[in-house]
Amino acid sequence: MTESFNLSWPNRKIHAGVILLNSVTEILDVAPFHLMGTMSKHLKDMPDSVYAPDLKEQALDIECHWVNESGEPAQLASGMRVLPTDTFASCPPLDIVLMGANNMDYQPSISELAFIRKAFEDSSAFIAVCGAFRSLLLSGLLEGKTATAPRGMLKVSAAHRLRQIGWRNDGVVMVSFGPRDSL
């Protein structure tokens, strides 16, 4: 029997990851992911003048994963590239997932959509920022849910409830206009 996991009171290491598709990902959408690494046990290496010892004791045990299908460097907007830590095959189940917007005409591959669905099933929180809602839509994860989308994309599908709101939390899935709304 597997031990239950509650993200509010984690009883083990938290695995947090950014899913990078084979497209250009908006850097501003995934940049807040750096905060998860900063809030982790790495705080112990910071001087006490920056983080008080009692704050360091509260640091969460978070392992950060940058994930794509191939393990090859992934392209972010403004020419930045990220070397993934994991492939879809090597990535452990993720407790927290973050996805940023991609080129709007990009069609995720069958394996990318399958990994998005698997990550959703494994996660306690799945955050899709800005145009990343589209990957959730294409993977079938927004069926019966209300989500937000950038204003120009609200009419992408009449079959889905897309609203012009800052963010929407529908259980595990959180979809937001931008990174500021998802924090």
Query: Which amino acid, 66?
Result: W
Sorted by where each begins, the domain ranges of the chain are 14-182
- Return the pLDDT at 161: 54
For the cut 60, the answer to whether the pLDDT of residue 171 exceeds it is no
Least confident interval from 78-82, 92-96, 118-122, 167-171: 167-171
Are 64 and 33 in contact by the 8 Å Cβ rule? The answer is yes
Provide DSSP, 20-57. --SSPBPHHHHTTHHHHHHTBGGGGGS-TTTS-HHHHH
Q: Could you identify the residue written with the tokens 């609203």?
A: 163
What CATH code would you report for 14-182?
3.40.50.880
31 phi and psi angles, rounded to 5 deg:
-60, -35
Average pLDDT, the chain: 82
In terms of pLDDT, which residue wins out, 93 or 153? 93
